[in-house]
Amino acid sequence: MTTIVQHLKKSLFFRLLAIFGVTVVLFFIIISISLQTINDESDALETIPDYFTRNIESIIEDIGTPPNLGNAMRLASELDWTINIRNPIMQWSSDSENRLNVDSATYSESLTDDAELRSINSEDIIKVQRGGYDFYMYRQARNSDIDLVVLYAGLTLAAVILFINYLMVNKMLDPVRLLRKGAERIRQGDLGYRVKSNRQDELGELTDSINHMADSLQSMLEAKRQLLMAISHELRTPITRAKLRMEFMEDSKEKAQLKEDIDEIDLLISDLLEAERLNNEHAVLAPEVAELADFVHSIVNQFEHYEGGLTIEAPNADQLFEFDKLRIRLLLTNLLNNAIRHGERNPIIVKVSFGKDLGIIEVIDNGEGISEDHLPQISEPFYRADSARQRNTGGFGLGLYLCRLIAQAHGGQLIITSKIGEGTQMTVSLPRRPPHLEAE
């Protein structure tokens, strides 16, 4: 018994098997009892001839000849029969409805010298001729309502058992839903999330495996982040030396190209460091209170030289927001550079609007657009929709990634929608205050 209990505690399979087995047994019992109850009356009909043959003398004597109608009514009630008594001058029946026409009954067999078995509509009728009277006896009408009650009671009980089984199985599968939620959180990048469970069965083992997997992923990514930051920092020293030595070179075309390459490497290192800082769940912001629309306007003015034309739409009533100016400036600059780069010299519109404790910045171009196949990955690091792009046209693939991280660090989000040949719309939503300040 102890072994069985341990199997039930530690094995989901055995628990489901036990529930299934108990359900089958209970259904078998319910069906058997229902059928037995319904068939009892049918079984009783089959024993009427034998019962009557054994008790014919006592029954007729109890009724008497001439018949005592009171005794006949009592016997009819006790035996659950209908008794019909006839002679040339009387006709009496214990059943006022007189549901069977005994005159139309056909002969089946003789039971005794003065008794015979007749039938009508597959029902047995006993006929006894004694003392000048004809006694007809047959089973009373079966109460179909009782059969229906038994049937409905059985079905109700079966439904209750199924419902209880559903509740039990549903409760047993609660960890599956928790695992699904946890796997989804981890898939979305929340590697710090862990699925809580104290189960000791297969689902408990699966939960532990998923948590261990998340631990391993988090450790590997943290190691990658630390390595990347260390390499980036170490690269700064030779880059600085190269810039210093370049200053002593004579001006030439080669020097200008070398300076451009070194500046690109320096910018890449800066972007990598900034991305890793923002990618940390404890990203440090330096928020300041400022009017959002006015701040956006000051950045847009820096791109007024754009040939296609750049306009800004903002409400007259500005609102105060708390944000990291340096990083929001980087975000907007990247979005505008991206719009200019791929806007095909078409007009660009920057819109600022306000919702409930929310600031919304939209950068809309009418350029080449982005394929739907690339939209889900366009803000991932080092991803470029066109792998054939050169650095001077496509960048390193870090710009939109940084924009997304900056928006998320402020508690907002970056949404990109685009259609090929129609242009791209990049929408940044920012809360009035960063989430870590709201919690204070």
pLDDT value at residue 405 = 85
Closest CA to 225 of 280, 269, 265, 271: 280
pLDDT value at residue 364 = 92
Closest CA to 72 of 86, 56, 87, 83: 83
Per the DSSP assignment, residues forming a β-bridge with 125 are 118, 138
What does the angle CA 364 – CA 366 – CA 367 come to, to the nearest 5 degrees?
115
How much helix, strand and coil, in percent to the nearest 5, is found in the chain? 55, 20, 25
pLDDT value at residue 124 = 82
Residues of the chain with pLDDT under 70: 1-15, 17, 34-54, 141-148, 150-151, 188-189, 224-234, 267, 271-284, 381-397, 436-440
Residue 124 backbone dihedrals phi, psi, to 5 degrees: -85, 135
Overall pTM surpassing 0.85 (yes/no): no
Q: What SS3 class is residue 215?
A: helix
pLDDT value at residue 44 = 47
pLDDT value at residue 363 = 94
Per the DSSP assignment, residues forming a β-bridge with 135 are 85, 128
pLDDT value at residue 109 = 85
Distances (CA, A) of 355 to 324, 358, 361: 20, 5, 11
Residue 192 backbone dihedrals phi, psi, to 5 degrees: -85, -10
pLDDT value at residue 228 = 64
